[in-house]
Each structure stands twice: as C-alpha cells, then as structure tokens.
C-alpha cells in the first residue's frame, strides 16, 4: 500500500531523457517506484492519462523573505508549478537585524524590490536578531511549498556598520571580519548561500544604493571566505551594469567573480540580460564564464526566459500619469476613470497638456518619461500574453499603420478591456537586431534559468509566472523562431536549478528523490493576463497572473493544488543547506 500513485502519465522526468508512459509511486514523501503498470494500491491515486508528469519546479530567484512569515500559500509562485523557492537574493533580506533597525530593512526592500512597505510593516512577524534565529522562525512555518534562503549582504552590512553601512562607507578590517563571521554562522545554520547587489538600479526608498554596492574586493572576498568556512554554498549577485547603467563594469565584475569562485571553490551566479546599448556584451560574458571553467571557476549567468521590463497600463504606469487633467481623476476607481477618459473633452484635454515635473523623491516617478521616449518599445501584452511581439505590434507601428497620431493611439490602447489591459515595456532581453538572444542564453552551457523575482516588483511586473511561460512559449507556442524541447525546458527549471544550490534530493522524478510533481494538461496549459489585486497586508497591491492547466501540484507526496486551486495542504518546509 503506497501513499500515492500517479498512473498512466507521460513522464518528463527532469533528467533530459525522452518522455515515456509510466506510473509513479510514493511513500513517506519519497518516490519509491517508477514503471509501467505498477502493481499495488495507494491511499490516493491520480489518473494522469493524457497528462504530462514533471518534477516540481525549483525557482532560485525570489524575494519571499518577508511574505514567508505571513503567507503560507506563497503565491504567486505556488500557482505556476513551483514546489521549491530560493529567496534572499540581490543583497536584501531581513536578517540579521539590530533591534530598532527593522523599519530600515523594510524601506530597503521596498526601494529595491518594490514590495509595499506598509504590507511588510503590517505583515512581517518579527522575532529574531541573528540569521540562525531567522531560520528558526521560518523553520516553524508550514507552507504549501519548500523555501530555502541566502543571507543578504545589505542586511549584514547594516547590522555590523549601522549608518556607515547604510551609507556605503568603506568597511574597516574589523567590520570585514565581523561580516565574514556572520556569513559563516549563517551557512552553518542552513543558509544556501550569500547574496549581494552592485547595480546602481537597486536603491532604498531614500535613494541610497543597496549597502555593499561599492564594496571593495577585500569585503567581497570576505563573504566568499565565510561561505567556504561555513560549509559552502552559492555566491549570488546583481552585478554592476545589470541595469544597463554602467556598461564598462560587467567585464571587471566577471574578472573578480571568476577569481572568487576559483579561490574558494564556490559557485557564483549573477543576473545577466541583453541590453541594446551594448547588444553583444551578454554573449561575451557567457563565453567568459565557460572559459573560466578551465581556471577552476564555476560561474553561472542567471537569465530570464522572456523580456525583462515593466507592465504599463492605467493600473500601473502610463505616459499620461503626470498630466493635470489625469491627475484630477486618478483618485477615482478604475471603472470611474475609464468612464471619464472616454469623454471627448477629457481626452482632448489630456492629449493637449504637458507633463508636470517628476517628483525627484520618488524612485519610479519618471517611468512615464521612459514610455514617452520609446513608444516603439511598448506593446499590448494581450490575453493570452505575447512576450515575443513583432516590431509591427508596437504603439509606434500601430499609429503608422492606422495613419493616426501616436499619442491618440496610445491613449485609446489604455482603454482596451475597460482599462484592464496591460502593455509590455521590454527594457532588456528584447532585440530585433541581435538574432535569437534569449534562446541562445537559455541554451548556453553555463546559463541557468532564473530572475522571476517571485514576491517582488509587485506594482511593475509579474514574472513569477516565468515557469509557465517557459513551458507554453518555448516548447509549444513560439512562432518567431526555433522552439525548444519539453524535456529540455523541464530539466532547465527543475534538475538544473536544484543542482545549482545543492538541492540534489529533488528536481527529477527518480526513485529515492523527493516526491514533488506537477500533473499538467499540457495541450491546454494557458498563462492568463496579469491583473491587479489589493490582497497584501494593509491592502497592499500586487500584480497577479494565473495559469490554467495544472491539474495537480504535489509537494512531498501531498496534493497542494488541484485544478489550479490551493487545497490547504501545507507540507512545505524550510530547506537548510549542508
């Protein structure tokens, strides 16, 4: 008698092997038998005839560090086949924390990751100071999926250096020794790695770059020493130049990353995107990461499987947001706004006005200027979403095709679907002049799938849906170029991501592995359009994006989602390293 049997599914096991028909049996949260027509019975049987059975997906780039303390479902990632997440990325987190420093960490996370500060303030259940104490608090949580975390450089620096650390002042030898000890302690307690940020695009609410942005090499290498001394893990970073703001920095960053990896025998993974200002730089950096293998370095560019940018619309950002006549109605509900915007007099007034000056105290207040400058890079996302639109679908192209004024077309497009339609503004990973860049990144030997930012950038993106997008777009629906096999994409976001972080007990459907699965109606798997919800603590807003076609998601042998709906089962736990 087994606990669970999944019968007659088309098994795509995460190893890269060809799909096959097989049953999978589970006992005590572990896969115990795989094969055709398994004998025996189970307490729970799932008929997977006509369905694809995959491992649960492992998302290695999320920011649920605060949300994990109040949300046991961990949406939206749990709705996209993800059964394990790694948080604590980009040098921001909530431990260690000096008593009284909690609000500063909240403002840091809000500024860098666009998670509403009020939601974090109301939602986080504090109760720790050191990183091991934070792990103990998270370890008491019963969740729908498993979570692992890294210790964040920004929090460490603030803890050790206080205001000096927050203001990015140089660290003293004593500061550096203290930071190294904290990393070692965190890794010994079960952190999966250490993270830092060096990109100028990551700023706290007060405009100050993330602590550690300008850290000298001796400080960075101390983090690596602490990582090794604690038992090893992953060194993760958002490198200088990651936001396209400093295109000289990336080659220098690659040089020290490779040396750190080789010196301490630790894996390094960093965010990498294609930027138009230097469209081939990503290829140079990826090739250098491969060349560095011969020098004993293990450096893995972390890439996104679709464009990296913003979602524009009446509910988020748009180019008329600072025009006086719109400012006069923006307090109204969406439906009331749409009714006003459809009035000819309001339309004429807004189109005839100039923007008010941006508020320099608000980090994202000038997003409308970006939209105004590059309407040839703004597209209706559509439903189902199209993340690889052709150039003739842009706002500029639509205006030319219709023989109409660009901004009149833009205005009218904002009212599609009663103002609920979203527009995609691809900042990175989108180029018609650079071949099939994203596909080449995905298939590079050193490239790892990541950058979903699950739980973060709540008002700008919803890239936690990347695992679903990877399946639907790259293996089934793509029309602009060559597709990728289902077997390869499944391996890319299960086996490969799990192994990067040493989570070798999961990521494939093999006997002895953890019983994490998805049973997918592959032919009908569908990613839906994003929508705005106000369901965070304190009424905080976030963009959500649902999917249909996940018949079952199973964690440790328990069904956590059925037909896309949370079942209430909470087998998910903290995953500790070492």
435 and 423 both lie in a single domain: no
* CATH code for position 158: 3.20.20.140
388 and 252 both lie in a single domain: no
240 and 152 both lie in a single domain: yes
284 and 327 both lie in a single domain: no
Domain boundary residue among 427, 452, 470? 427
Mean pLDDT, residues 280-307 taken together: 94
Q: What is the largest CA-CA distance in the chain?
A: 74
Q: 57: exposed, middle or buried (C-beta count within 10 Å: 0-12, 13-18, 19+)?
A: buried
The number of C-alpha atoms within 13 Å of 252 and in the hemisphere containing its C-beta is: 9
User: What is the pLDDT at residue 504?
Assistant: 97
| 298-314 pLDDT, tens digit each | 999 999 999 988 899 99
Q: Is residue 76 part of a domain?
A: yes
Residue 245: band (very low, low, confident or very high) from pLDDT cuts 50, 70, 90: low
Q: Is residue 245 part of a domain?
A: yes
How many distinct structural domains can be found in the chain?
A: 2
Q: What is the CA radius of gyration of the chain?
A: 24
Partners of 148 in beta bridges: 86
329 and 346 both lie in a single domain: yes
The residue written with tokens 């953890």 in the block is: 514
| 405-436 pLDDT, tens digit each | 999 999 999 999 999 999 999 988 887 665 68
Q: What are phi and psi of 298, to 5 degrees?
A: -125, 90
Q: Is residue 320 part of a domain?
A: yes
Report the distance separating Cα 414 and Cα 288, nearest Å.
Answer: 43
Domain boundary residue among 380, 411, 427? 427
284 and 157 both lie in a single domain: yes
| 156-168 pLDDT, tens digit each | 999 999 999 999 9
Would strands 267-271 and 298-303 be described as parallel, antiparallel, or unpaired? Answer: parallel
On average, the pLDDT of the chain sits at: 94
Most confident range (mean pLDDT) of 240-244, 275-279, 282-286 is 282-286
Are 407 and 423 spatial neighbours (Cβ–Cβ below 8 Å)? no
Per cent of the chain over pLDDT 70 is 95
Q: Is residue 503 part of a domain?
A: no
User: What is the pLDDT at residue 127?
Assistant: 96
Residues 6+ apart with CB under 8 A from 485: 475
Is the pLDDT assigned to residue 454 strictly greater than 70?
yes
Q: Is residue 539 part of a domain?
A: no
223 and 276 both lie in a single domain: yes
| 512-535 pLDDT, tens digit each | 999 999 999 999 999 999 999 999
Mean pLDDT, residues 473-501 taken together: 97
User: What is the pLDDT at residue 491?
Assistant: 98
| pTM confidence score | 0.96
342 and 252 both lie in a single domain: no
Residues 6+ apart with CB under 8 A from 376: 391, 394, 395, 396, 397
Q: Is residue 161 part of a domain?
A: yes
SS3 369: helix
- Reference 52, options 73, 82, 92, 81; nearest CA is 81
468 and 418 both lie in a single domain: no
Residues 6+ apart with CB under 8 A from 13: 54, 55, 508, 509, 510
> What does the H/E/C string look like for 85-137?
EEECCCCCCCCCCCCCCHHHHHHHHHHHHCCCHHHHHHHCCCCCCCHHHHHHH
Mean pLDDT, residues 365-393 taken together: 82
Range of the domain at 423: 311-427
| 76-89 pLDDT, tens digit each | 999 999 999 999 99
Q: Is residue 520 part of a domain?
A: no
Domain boundary residue among 399, 427, 455? 427
């Amino acid at each position: 008698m087994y606990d669970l049997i999944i019968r007659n599914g088309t098994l795509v096991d995460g190893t890269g092997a060809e799909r096959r028909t097989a049953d999978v049996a589970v006992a005590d949260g572990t896969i115990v038998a795989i094969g055709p027509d398994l004998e025996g019975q189970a307490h729970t049987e799932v008929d997977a005839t006509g369905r694809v059975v995959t491992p649960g997906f492992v998302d290695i780039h999320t920011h649920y560090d605060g949300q994990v303390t109040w949300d046991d479902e961990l949406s939206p990632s749990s709705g996209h086949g993800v059964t394990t997440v790694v948080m604590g990325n980009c040098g921001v987190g909530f431990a260690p924390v000096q008593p009284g420093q909690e609000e500063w960490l909240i403002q840091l996370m809000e500024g860098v990751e666009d998670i509403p500060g009020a939601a974090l303030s109301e939602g986080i259940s504090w109760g720790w100071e050191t990183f091991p104490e934070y792990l103990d608090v998270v370890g008491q949580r019963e969740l729908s999926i498993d979570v692992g975390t890294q210790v964040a450089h920004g929090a460490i620096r603030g803890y050790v250096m206080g205001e000096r650390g927050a203001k990015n002042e140089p660290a003293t030898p004593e500061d550096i020794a203290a930071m190294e000890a904290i990393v070692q302690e965190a890794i010994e307690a079960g952190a999966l790695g250490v993270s830092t940020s060096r990109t100028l695009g990551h700023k706290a609410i007060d405009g100050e770059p993330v602590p550690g942005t300008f850290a000298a090499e001796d400080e960075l290498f101390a983090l690596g020493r602490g990582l090794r001394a604690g038992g090893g893990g992953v060194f993760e970073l958002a490198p200088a130049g990651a936001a396209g703001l400093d295109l000289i920095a990336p080659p220098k960053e690659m040089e020290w990353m490779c040396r750190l990896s080789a010196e301490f025998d630790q894996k390094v993974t960093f965010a990498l995107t294609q930027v138009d200002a230097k469209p081939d730089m990503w290829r140079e950096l990826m090739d250098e990461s491969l060349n560095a293998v011969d020098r004993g370095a293990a450096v893995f560019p972390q890439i996104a499987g679709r464009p990296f940018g913003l979602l524009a619309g009446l509910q988020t950002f748009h180019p008329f947001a600072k025009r006086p006549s719109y400012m006069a109605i923006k307090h109204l509900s969406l439906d009331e706004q749409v009714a006003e915007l459809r009035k000819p007099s309001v339309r004429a007034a807004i189109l005839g006005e100039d923007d008010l000056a941006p508020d320099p105290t608000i980090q994202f207040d000038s997003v409308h200027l970006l939209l105004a400058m590059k309407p040839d890079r703004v597209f209706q996302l559509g439903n189902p979403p199209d993340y690889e639109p052709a150039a003739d679908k842009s706002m500029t192209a639509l205006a030319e095709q219709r023989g109409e004024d660009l901004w009149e077309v833009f205005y009218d497009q904002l009212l599609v679907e009663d103002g609920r339609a979203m527009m995609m503004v691809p900042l990175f990973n989108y180029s018609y002049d650079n071949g099939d860049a994203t596909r080449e990144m995905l298939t590079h030997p050193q490239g790892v799938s990541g950058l979903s930012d699950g739980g973060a950038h709540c008002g700008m993106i919803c890239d936690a849906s990347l695992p679903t997008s990877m399946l639907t777009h790259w293996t089934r629906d793509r029309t602009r170029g060559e597709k990728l096999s289902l077997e390869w994409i499944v391996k890319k976001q299960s086996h490969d991501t799990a192994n990067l972080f040493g989570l070798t007990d999961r990521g494939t459907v093999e006997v002895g592995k953890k019983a994490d699965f998805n049973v997918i109606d592959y032919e009908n798997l569908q990613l839906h359009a994003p929508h705005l919800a106000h369901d965070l603590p304190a009424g905080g807003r976030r963009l959500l994006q649902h999917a249909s076609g996940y018949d079952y998601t199973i964690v440790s042998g328990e069904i956590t989602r059925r037909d896309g709906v949370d079942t209430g089962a909470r087998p998910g736990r903290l995953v500790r390293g070492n």
